[in-house]
Amino acid sequence: MLVAISAVGCATDEQAPEGLAHVRSSGDHDTRFDTDRPTIGHLDPDLLDAVRTAAREAQDDGVRLVITSGWRSRAHQQRLFDEAVRKYGSEEEARRYVSTVDSSAHVTGDAVDIGPTDADDWLSRHGGDYGLCQIFANEIWHFELATTAGGRCPDMLPDSTYRR
C-alpha cells in the first residue's frame, strides 16, 4: 500500500498558512513521502517516520491522517502569533493557543498538527504505539515524539503557556 504525505495548496511554504499535507493510499507499492516542500521535508526524520507508520496503520482502520501543519519558518510562526495576539487581545492569552517563535516545536520540525477529528481521536488512542503524543490538552491535533514507540505518553500540559 502506498501512503504518501504531500504538501498542497500554495505556491510557496511562506504562503501556506497551515503547511497542508494529505495522506493518501493507492495500490501495494513502497511507502514514500513528498518531502520536496519544507513543511514536510524539514520535519525531524524520526517524527516523519512515526507519522508515516501511524498513517499506514490508521488507513488499515479506515482512518485518513492529514498533516494540517508541519514545520514552520520563524517568520510564519511569528505571523501566527501576531494574529493570535490581535484575536485574543494580549500576548499572555495568545500563548495559550499559539507558541512563540522561540518555544514552538513546529519551528524546529518537532511537531505536527493532524486532522481531521477522527484522525486526532485515533492518534490520541494509538499514538504511543509510534511514540506520538498529544502534548496540549487544548490542542487535540498537536502531536510530538514524546516517548519511544510503545511507550507511555507524558501527561498533557493544559496549554502551550506551560512550555517556556
Task: Give the model confidence (pLDDT) of 96-130 as tens digits.
Answer: 999 999 999 999 999 999 999 999 999 999 999 99
What's the whole-number mean pLDDT along residues 13-22? 39
The number of CA neighbours under 13 Å toward the Cβ of 163 is 20
Q: Which of these ranges, 6-20, 50-64, 140-154, has the smallest mean pLDDT?
A: 6-20
pLDDT at 18 over 60: no
Q: Residue 27: what pLDDT?
A: 38
Q: In what order do the strands lie in the sheet with 112-115?
A: 2-7, 21-26, 66-69, 112-115, 142-145, 132-134
Q: Which residue has the higher pLDDT, 125 or 21?
A: 125
Q: End-to-end alpha-carbon separation of the chain, Å?
A: 41
What's the whole-number mean pLDDT along residues 30-39? 61
pLDDT at 14 over 80: no
What's the whole-number mean pLDDT along residues 147-153? 95
- Tell me the per-residue pLDDT of 39-90, one tens digit each, with 9 for 90 and over: 889 999 999 999 999 999 999 999 999 898 999 999 999 999 999 999 999 9
pLDDT at 11 over 80: no
Cβ contact 84:94 at 8 Å: yes
Q: Residue 44: what pLDDT?
A: 97
- At residue 17 the predicted structure's pLDDT band, cuts being 50, 70 and 90, is very low
Nearest to 112 by CA among 7, 1, 3, 2: 7
Residue 99, sorted as left (phi over 0), alpha (psi -120 to 50) or beta, turns out to be: beta
Q: Residue 164: what pLDDT?
A: 60
- At residue 36 the predicted structure's pLDDT band, cuts being 50, 70 and 90, is confident
